[in-house]
Amino acid sequence: MKTFGVVNLGNPRHILAIITMAMAFFYIFGLPVLNFLHLIGGSISPVGRADHETKVLFQISLNTLVMIGSVFSWLKLVHNYNLNAILGSLKLKDVKNTHVAMVYGVSASLFFMIGMYMILSLVYILTGFKQENRLALWIGESLSWVGIIIVSVLAAFSEEIFFRGYLQERIGLFPAAFLFGFAHISYQNIVQVVAPIVFGIILGVLLIKTKNLYSTISAHFSFNLIQLTFIKIVTAAFSSIFI
């Protein structure tokens, strides 16, 4: 019977876990590539704003289900963890100094955002290069204030559980950060791929230092919340990067 680490190919539960994770990887990485290559429909369509918000909220809910569901399924089916063990392995339970970790997270997010804005402004001044992120603008303009909160919370929890809590612990800091950026390829914006890679490295280091996933969740949440708020209020301001 072939085994690969903790995976036993003769165990039906492990086979189910592999299939579930493979489907999640196709959804998270394969579909954005197809979208980037224009092989499937785009995300922006000429419908009412209320329909836009419904579409965004449905998409983020589906993303959350896929990311968290695949991770929880793997840890349950392969490792036979109960809920407490799953949360502990993801550094969401039995962690120390959560309030301090969250302060570190918000601070890291603010420094990253300010740094990226300064770099992009300098590049624009020196070269005239600027990329408008139409998809980020569409998302920000489509959402109500409640929608902005929901999207910021769900994106932060689901992506941090998948990329930092699960992937980084298995494949390492830099590969996980690269995949985090690659997952944003459907934005069809080079800044939107490079920025998440850099942000992913920062978040990964933050997790290593704090050993608390709430640090990266708070960083991710605050970044998206501020970005979406600025997009909604000022429309095009801070529209170059949305992670």
- Encode pLDDT of 216-232 as tens digits: 999 999 999 998 998 88
Contact 204, 177 (CB under 8 A): yes
Per-residue CA distances from 140 to 115, 190, 193 (Å): 21, 19, 18
Is residue 241 domain-resident?
Answer: no
Is residue 8 domain-resident?
Answer: yes
Specify the pLDDT at position 97: 93
- The number of domains in the chain is 1
Quote the domain boundaries for residue 221.
Answer: 3-234
Is residue 171 domain-resident?
Answer: yes
Is residue 242 domain-resident?
Answer: no
Average pLDDT, the chain: 88
Specify the pLDDT at position 232: 85
Is residue 243 domain-resident?
Answer: no
Q: Where are the alpha helices (DSSP H) in the chain?
A: 12-25, 31-36, 49-77, 83-89, 98-127, 134-142, 145-159, 169-171, 173-182, 190-210, 213-234
Specify the pLDDT at position 64: 98
- Phi, psi at 200, each rounded to 5°: -60, -40
Specify the pLDDT at position 42: 53
Quick: pLDDT tens for 31-41.
988 888 876 65
Is residue 239 domain-resident?
Answer: no
Is residue 146 domain-resident?
Answer: yes
Is residue 230 domain-resident?
Answer: yes
For the chain, 243 residues long, the average pLDDT of each consecutive 10-residue run is 66 96 97 81 49 91 98 97 97 95 98 92 83 73 91 98 97 98 88 94 98 98 93 62 52
